[in-house]
Amino acid sequence: MDRQVSKEEVPSYELVEEKIKEIDGSIIILRIFYLFMHIAYKFQLIKNDKLCAVEIPRKLLEGLRDRNISLEEELDRIIYSSLEQSECWSKV
């Protein structure tokens, strides 16, 4: 079972939150899970009455602590591509 974690446990949480807010300020990070099988964090996002999940690899988030530009671009790509997919957003 995937474990729910707090934002304090997530490496570079503030940067992820900032990138999401840049895309759409009305998106809220609802919950975060640590996926043991994928070694990634799954961010559950909510906007109005729709839910979307974005998985970000742990190594990527850990590498962002040093504000690595290429890793920031990879983070942008993951977030933008996930949020733009209509199938990501499901009604709750």
Question: How does pLDDT run along the chain (92 residues), one tens digit per residue?
Answer: 689 999 999 999 999 999 999 999 999 999 999 998 889 999 999 999 999 999 999 999 999 988 788 999 999 999 999 999 888 899 98
| Residues 6+ positions from 91 with CB-CB distance below 8 Å | 49, 50, 51
Taking the model in full, what pTM does it have?
Answer: 0.91
